[in-house]
Structure 1
Amino acid sequence: MYRNFRIVPNIIFGRGAFNQLDDVIKHKRTSSESYFVFVVDDAFTGQPLESRIPLKGRDLLLRVNVDDEPKTTYIDALVKQIRTYHFEKPVGVVGIGGGSTMDIAKAVSLMLNNPGSSADYQGWDLIKFPAVYHVAVPTLAGTGAEISRTAILTGPEKKLGINSDFTLYDQILLDPDLIAGVPKEQWFYTGMDCYIHDVESLQGTFINEFSRAYGEKSLDLCRQVFLQDHPDRDDKLMMASYFGGMSIAYSQVGACHALSYGLSYVLGIHHGIGCCIAFDYLDEIYPEGVAEFRQMMARHDISLPRNLTKGLDQAAMEKMVTTALGLVPLWQNCLGPDWADIMTRERTMELYTRM
């Protein structure tokens, strides 16, 4: 059986497109009581971008902190805050920020229409009711969060996304002007998330011509951004992120993402840098990709942190291994149906020990 693949239905791309946000969402403002929740990275507090948000009437500006990756407890607290703010649900949620902020906005929009805790829905296709209308405005490029059916969350027992067709945004607004001036390391780590998406998708056992078409174009754009000089590199990276997200949507990521989840769950390492750390130790699985990745690091003078797992006790190491190996679809894509005979607990532990 082929999966009936759902995609984001409405997309605006172009420099200055953020100025159209008010026009894009106004059709949802059907009465004077209608209000939006703008979920915004608190890094923009007092910054020019915040003053450009088209707040009206009862709209709620919800500043969120992404110093740590989003936790299910944080999502639940934000949903409670919105429900306390007004007895009626908002007509829409707009996420403005990087991948974590967009994941928060996705999760909040889902949980406004679904009972219980967000931890109850970590997994595949567990969501029962559609989210409220939600819009993504990425200010970083690379994670593919704007196009993916996943909201990655750290729960009390695991780090795992809410994977559902209902998670997908109803609208994305891609404005390359918004990612200008991002600090070099953050720009690089987020962009490498996209590059690694492409490598894992294109070399995975789930590959098909749908995924290959998007993945190859995304990979080409990543090479232009990170190995060449182009004045429109922000435009290219934003489209690479979109195409990379489309590539993995009908295939899957692989070993690097599985290992990065373990790093994040135990050590709190952010997703982009966690992917870079893990990828650098995967020569045996992705030899060409890792070699090119190291060229990109050298070109942009990036040094990865080392000895992260040194001094961790056995329980913490075992938790990382269990987290990584629990992501079965990722390993199936990477190594095939016999993946468990190849990526044993011992081999996974050895990789983490090297990190």
Structure 2
Amino acid sequence: MSFKNYPMVSRVVFGRGSFDQLEDILAPKRINSKAPFIFLVDDVFEGNAWITGRIPLAYDDKLIYISADEEPKTSQVDELVEKIILDHKDRPSGIIGIGGGTILDLAKAVAIMLTNEGEAKDYQGWDLVKNPAIYHVGIPTISGTGAEVSRTTVLTGPDKKLGINSDHTPFDQVILDPELTKDVPTDQWFYTGMDCYIHCIESLNGTYLNAFSQSYGEKALELCKEIFVENSLSDEEMQDKLMMASWHGGMSIAYSQVGVAHAMSYGLGYLLGTKHGIGNCIVFDHLEEFYPEGVKLFKKMKKIHNITLPKGLCANLEDSEFDTMIDVAMSLEPLWENAVGKNWKQTITRERLKELYKKM
């Protein structure tokens, strides 16, 4: 039997204001004055000097603003890589992603594609990346996705929505500064926080569960309950704890897997462009048969925070569109095996998934 030899983020700094250490962290990693650092930054921060004014640009460094309105696409990765190669003779010293899961996933993918031939879509799957990525740094400005710690980068490609899952994907350095999350709008905070909560529920109730993933999952779940149910924390405590929940939630699936909500949410994302966090929530709301306790608590948290989920997403879809979503969802075999077991194909039929999608 072979055990997963899992790559971790090799360096991490945590603390309010730790973003200010970015310059010191990057300086020794600069190859030379012609090899720039490329900063991929969520465009919500354009004109926000409190964040952008602290980015330590020098020499030929480049700041590229990116919209996170849509899920990251393989074509977007290819365009960014091409732009970076055309604009700079030298290979960059590193890629720094500053934003939520979308931006962090793009940063990881770009760092990989700068050293690997072909297009990003060629690497969607498990362990297809041959060459190590260039140095890359993740700085989350919203907590919950676990993108800062995971070995995947979730991308929508021409045929599927699937991550580049590889040992070369994790960041070389992560800066966890909870202060950067202070202006996240409430609904966004909830959806992304629930991504973390759902990671825990799917990991802790899966057939892949082991002591490693369980220890992280239980801690993350405990933090989620403190934040979203007990509601007795100050804003600062909440930011600190959600950042830790996100990290632990990401670690809990590192050595196990996610489940039904993620598989079906990928289908929604691929067909309708539904954002990952809210997509997970829309699906999870209907999964009592798989996660009775988890869904019950989720509904309670929705109520506490006055969250109303969009309805009728699948109301006017054609049969062929349902088929597309079902194809995407069912292609994620490890997720179903974790959720239902080795013989999942006997119970998870296309009809059953169609019935579930119709409720959304």
**Shorter-chain TM-score tier:** over 0.9
Provide the residue aligned with 1:144 in structure 2: 146
Counterpart selection for 2:54 from 28, 52, 55: 52
Equivalent of 1:345, from 343, 350, 355? Answer: 350
Tell me which residue corresponds to 1:259: 264
Q: 2:122 is aligned with what amino acid?
A: D
Between the aligned partners of 1:351 and 1:100, the Cα distance in structure 2 is 26
Q: Does 1:230 align with 2:253?
A: no
Aligned to 1:62: 64
**Offset of residue 5 of structure 1:** 1.4
TM-score by length of 1: 0.99
Whether 1:36 and 2:19 are equivalent positions in the alignment is no
- CA-atom RMSD in angstroms: 0.7
Distance 1:270 1:327 in 2: 18
Code of the residue aligned with 1:170 in structure 2: it is D
Q: Is 1:26 paired with 2:24?
A: no
Q: Which amino acid aligns with 2:201?
A: V
1:299 has 2:304 as partner: yes
Residue 311 (1) aligns with residue 316 (2): yes
Q: Distance in 2 between matches of 1:32 and 1:255?
A: 48
Q: How big is the shift at 1:144?
A: 0.1
% of aligned pairs identical?
54
SS of 1:262's partner is helix
SS of the aligned residue for 2:39 comes to strand
SS at match of 2:98: strand
The aligned counterpart of 2:185 is: 183
Give how far 1:225 is off: 0.7
3-state SS, counterpart of residue 263 of structure 1: helix
* Alpha-carbon shift at residue 347 of structure 1 (Å): 0.3
Alignment partner of 1:166: what SS? Answer: coil
Distance in 2 between residues matched to 1:263 and 1:80, nearest whole Å: 29
Once residues 239 and 55 of structure 1 are traced to their aligned partners in structure 2, the CA distance between those partners, rounded to angstroms, is: 29
Deviation at 1:181, TM superposition (A): 1.8
Q: SS where residue 184 of structure 2 aligns?
A: coil
SS at match of 1:63: strand
Equivalence for 2:160: 158
User: Over residues 35-71 of structure 1, what are the superposed CA-to-partner deviations in whole Å (9 max), with x where a residue is unaligned?
Assistant: 1000101111111211111111100111112211011
Per-residue deviation, residues 284-332 of structure 1 (Å, max 9, x unmatched): 0000000000111000000000111011111111100111011000000
Matched, 1:333 2:338: yes
Q: Aligned partner of 1:130: which letter?
A: P
Tell me the matched-pair count.
355
Map of 1:72 onto structure 2 = 74
Q: Report the 3-state secondary structure (helix = DSSP H, G, I; strand = E; otherwise coil) of the residue aligned with 1:150.
A: coil
- 5+ residue gaps, structure 2, are none
Q: When the two structures are superposed, what TM-score results if normalisation uses the length of structure 2?
A: 0.98
Report the 3-state secondary structure (helix = DSSP H, G, I; strand = E; otherwise coil) of the residue aligned with 2:153: strand
Q: Find the aligned partners of 1:3 and 1:124 in 2 and give their Cα distance.
A: 13
What does residue 9 of structure 1 align with?
Answer: 10
SS in 1 for 2:158: coil
Runs of 4+ with deviation above 2 angstroms: none
Give the counterpart letter for 1:267 in structure 2. L
Cα drift, residue 246 of structure 1 = 0.5
Structure-1 separation of matches of 2:168 and 2:107: 13
Whole-angstrom distance in 2 between the partners of 1:303 and 1:33: 50
Displacement after TM superposition at 1:32 (Å): 2.1
Gaps of 5+ in 1: none
